[in-house]
Each structure stands twice: as structure tokens, then as C-alpha cells.
Structure 1
């Protein structure tokens, strides 16, 4: 696949340099219309030629849309609620394929030997490639940057995509980036970047619609975060059916409890607290907070100004017009 690489305007470039404090990333670039780290170019061929397997299960999403929650649900269903095996960190049993494209982690390890960075982060592509089947793979890549075998239809693994209200996604992504990437600047500055598609993996709606357009395919399940919040047992049953699993009433009740926000936040296998310290030290972030913050819906009502809300709503209407996707 030919990659079309573009740079941001000088104004946006200057704003991003002021706001971000994440070394070994080489800034942000546009790759085939999507915002990616400059380090992505080094791994583009490896991603493009990644060998997909038909029995893979892929969890795809834009960041901060409920990915970890969905991953744990999918893994537990597919593995017959084996909570003992589920004590292995989610990053190992359900690795993030494109994680090592987000920064030069090898250089980070050399420059910061006192900071422990797990092997599934240093070379996430190779780590994921060598997992035994069936593999469970997370990615934030848009559909048009997935491995070639997806786009040709040569391989048809199961894909579960989750999307969330854009305003709540923006808020959650802001707090995440402040905590883990030392983001500087105001929330309004961040909203401006988000609306101009200048946050990693943006444009947000183009990302979601790339998968939404594939929802008629039998190997793709399209979920909404809000539906998980409002009726988790229904989404569990829907996902189990998609994965070819039947859950008893007791299993459904058990998994619903396991996936409660309180239990997820307290579960060391999924809350990523083991990674927070080292990454914050690297980015020199002084912001306190958790990987899982509060998981609430409609945070935008109290955290966004009326002007920002109107801008997001107008932007959403323009992007979703005629698509039949709604929030």
C-alpha cells in the first residue's frame, strides 16, 4: 500500500509542540488522512504485511472509547470465563498491535534503563505475531491502515469495534493524555486539536465510519459504549453469540459483575497501574490520576462550555449526515 504522508499546518504544528511532552515520537503526521506518530513510518511495512489468521479475534477502536472494557469482556467470553488465566495482564493476553509504532520504545529503554517497559510494548508487532492461536489482538488503527489481508478479504478474523459519544471520548482522551503524556495547555486547546483531527488516530468520525461501513460483514460486530453502560448483559449476550458461545444465566451474572467499573478499576490485570509509574516518569507528568478514571456517560454536560458543545454537535451532524449512525 502506498502511504501518503502529509504534515500539519505550521500553526497546528506549533500548538502540538507546545502541548505535547512525549520524547521519541518524532511529532505527529498525517498518514492516508489519519493522524499518526512520526515513528509510525518505521513500522508501516510490518503492519501492512502482518500475517493475519482466520481464528484471530481483533478488538478495534479509537482511543478512550471503552477498549479495555470491551477487551476483557471478549477475552472472558471466548475463554469460557477462565478468571484464573485472566489474572495474566491484559497487555500480554490481548496485546496492542500498533503500540510500538507510537514511540521508539527501543530508544526509550536504552536512554532510561531504570524504567521497566514490558516486552509487549517494546516490539508489539513481533510479540503479537508470535502468539499461539487463537490470538486476541487490540488495535487503534483505522480500517484503511489495518494489515493488507483485511482489505483484500484474504483473511476474515472476527472484529469487534466499539465507539463512544465524541464529546465524552474527547474528555476521557484529554485526561488520559495529561496523566500519561504530560499534556500541557487548556482543555479548550485540546478540544480545538480534537475538532481539527490533530489528536492521534483522528479524525474521530472517519475512524468510526470506516468500521461502520463494514458492519454488514458477518465477521464484524459494531458496539456502542453507551449500550454497554445501559444494558451490559444484553451486550454480553450479543457478543457471545457473535463469538459462537452460549452463556448460562449464572455465567452471564458472573461476567456482568466481573465487568463492573468498580471491579475493573480494582483488577490489577486490566487497570494498567503497573505501567503508569514508568510512563509518567518518562514524560515528566505531574498530573495525578488513574488509567481508569470514572467511566461515566455524559461527562460533557458539566465539563464542556456551551460554545464547545455546539461546535461538537455541529461537527457530529456534518460527519454523520446520511450514515444512519447516531448518538
Structure 2
């Protein structure tokens, strides 16, 4: 007969993997995704206490896929809108991350710093959470979700640079890449995260945009975002105001500002280019990403062509 200790060993879950990316704290797997425990707690609070309004705008993204840029563009679109009355602050005074708070940190985290009831409409929030983590009422509330994504190769390279620079670590690119492919990265797996929002596009009031499209045709895609939000706005002005150069220069002028995550604001602006992966990844690495995309996205209508092949040309 098994002893109590033997039985406990059988039913106890295996310890979480010690991924190289966990330098800022251990992650736990929840509903298929890897997050810090406090983010899982925040998710429960969001589902229990966040009541989406028809005018709410959710900016969703996987880390390092264009989050800062989307925050800046949306804020600028609203500020220059002739059809939506808003009182959003000017980016001359604030970093995009100060303009748009994270649901899972500043609003429903362990020590929320903002009162959601005091935010003027239209309320704009950001999240790195997968769609399945958000309240079911989001689908029927009339709220609008904009999801930005980026080619997995450039996403990986940008995330790897950020972690090494932020924490002073020296995670080798091969070790980091192996973990990325296994999904053992913050908010990972990347491919599952993207797929959730892809499958909800259009019918669930989700606008799906890519970093590459915004870089290649900024005015056309800013107009697309504005139309989705029901805004008449100054498209050319928005594009100019939110250029990578202007945003990076504004961040430098602010000095040593620090984000709630401990990231210096200027770390959010590295190169802002498409195809930087070619300076870091081998063709074998790229082939592995392509194979994972084919497997994960099979039958969904989603493939790497959504990025217009701009990261592999």
C-alpha cells in the first residue's frame, strides 16, 4: 500500500520550468499561458470587477510587438478627433505608457494606482493578457479591442534585447530562442496569444493589425484604426506626431523616467525597424519559427504571410 507521502508525490504537480527568461520572477502556467502569480490574481479581479463600457477601448498585445506605438497612435487619434469628445493628455507631457494604463497592473493589480471610475470616456486600457483571460462581457459590451502583433522573429529579438538590457543579464541568444520556441517567455506562448485574437477578429469587435503594416503604410493603417474607433481625425498629424523618431526624442527629453515595471522609458525605443532578426538569427532558427507557426496556426487561415513577408525579404 502506498504511504501518504508516496501518494502526495504522485498527485503533486511538477515544478515549473526554470526558464532563462524568469530573471524577474517565476512564472506559473494558467490556462496555457505563463504569467507571474500576481498577474493571475489580477486576471481574477478583472473578470470579477471590470464592467466594460460600450465606449471602452482595449489595446491588446504580446510584449514587444508595438505596444508603445499603439498607445501613442490611439491617444493621438482621439486627441485630434473631431467626432469624439475627450480629455486625453498630450504626449508632449507624458510617455505613452503614462497615457494608457494596464488593466492587470495599474487598475486591478495588487496595488492599483488608478481609480477606474474616475477615468473619462472613452476609457483606453492596455493589456498583455490573452483574450481568454478577459471578461466574457467584453464580447457583448460594445467595447472595441485593437490587437497589434509583429513577426515572431522580430518579436523575439526585441524581447531578448530588452531583458538583457533591463536586467543586465547575458542570456545567450540560443538559450533564449529555445525557450521562446517552447513558449517559456513572459505572456507566452507567442503563437497561442496571437491566434486567440486572430480567431476573434471582426466578429467580436476586434481589430487585428500588424507592426509591419503600420510601418509600411502608416497613413492607411492609422485611418483604418480611426475608422474602427468611429473617429474623424487628422491622420497625417497623427502619423507625424507618433513617428518613432518623435516618440524616442520625447522620451530622451524626459530624462531618466521609469515605467511601473522598472523599465526606463527610453528602453521602449530601440530601433523600431522591420527585419532586425537578420542581424541575430540563423536561417535554421527562422525555419524553426516557420515550422511552429505552421503547426500552431494550421487551419486558422493565419500564417506568416500576414506580415507580408517583410521580415524575411
Of 243, 249, 259, which residue of structure 2 is paired with 1:260?
243
> Given that residues 21 and 182 in structure 1 are in contact (C-alpha distance below 8 angstroms), is that contact kept between their aligned partners in structure 2?
no
Which of 270-279 and 292-301 deviates more? 270-279
Other-structure match for 2:7 = none
Report the CA distance between 1:163 and its aligned residue. 0.9
Map 1:267-286 onto structure 2 (within 5 A). 267-268=250-251, 274-275=257-258, 279=262
> In structure 2, do the counterparts of structure 1 residues 235 and 55 end up closer, same or farther at CA, with 3 Å as the change threshold?
same
Q: Give the equivalent residue in structure 2 for 1:136.
A: 124
Shift of 1:252: 2.4
- In structure 2, runs of 5+ residues without a counterpart are 1-11, 82-86, 305-313
Q: Which residue of structure 2 aligns with residue 108 of structure 1?
A: none
- Where does residue 222 of structure 1 map in the other structure? 208
Q: Is the 8 A contact 2:19 2:184 kept in 1?
A: no
- Find the aligned partners of 2:284 and 2:101 in 1 and give their Cα distance: 39
2:40 paired with 1:36: no
CA distance in 1, matches of 2:14, 2:255: 35
Q: Is the 8 A contact 2:42 2:108 kept in 1?
A: no
Matched residues, number? 285
Pick closer, same or farther for the CA change 1:309–1:268 going to 2, 3 Å.
Answer: same
Deviations 1:90-109 (A, max 9, x none): 333311111369996xxxxx
Structure 1 segment 39-54 matched on structure 2, within 5 A: 39-49=38-48, 50-54=50-54
Provide the residue aligned with 1:160 in structure 2. Answer: 146
Check conservation: 2:33, 2:187, Cα contact below 8 A.
yes
Q: CA RMSD in A?
A: 3.0
Matching residue within 93, 103, 118 for 1:97: 103
* 1:1-327 matched pairs, under 5 angstroms: 13-16=17-20, 20-22=22-24, 25=25, 27-49=26-48, 50-80=50-80, 85-86=90-91, 87-99=93-105, 122-123=111-112, 126-128=114-116, 130-150=118-138, 153-217=139-203, 219-247=205-233, 251-268=234-251, 274-275=257-258, 279=262, 290-327=267-304
* Residue segments in structure 1 that go unaligned for 5+ positions in a row: 1-6, 105-121, 282-288
Q: Give, in angstroms, the shift of residue 271 of structure 1.
A: 8.5
Give the Cα separation in 2 of the matches to 1:159 and 1:182. 35
How far is 1:309 from its partner?
1.6
**SS of alignment partner, residue 14 of structure 1:** coil
Separation in 1, partners of 2:155, 2:53: 31
1:202, distance to aligned residue in structure 2 (A):
0.9
Give the secondary-structure state (helix, strand or coil) at the position aligned to 1:98. helix
Aligned CA distance change for structure 1 residues 59 and 303 (closer, same or farther; 3 Å):
same
Return the alpha-carbon distance in structure 2 between the equivalents of residues 321 and 218 of structure 1: 21
Structure 1-normalised TM-score?
0.77
Once the 2 structures are TM-superposed, how far is the Cα of residue 261 of structure 1 from its aligned partner? Answer: 1.1
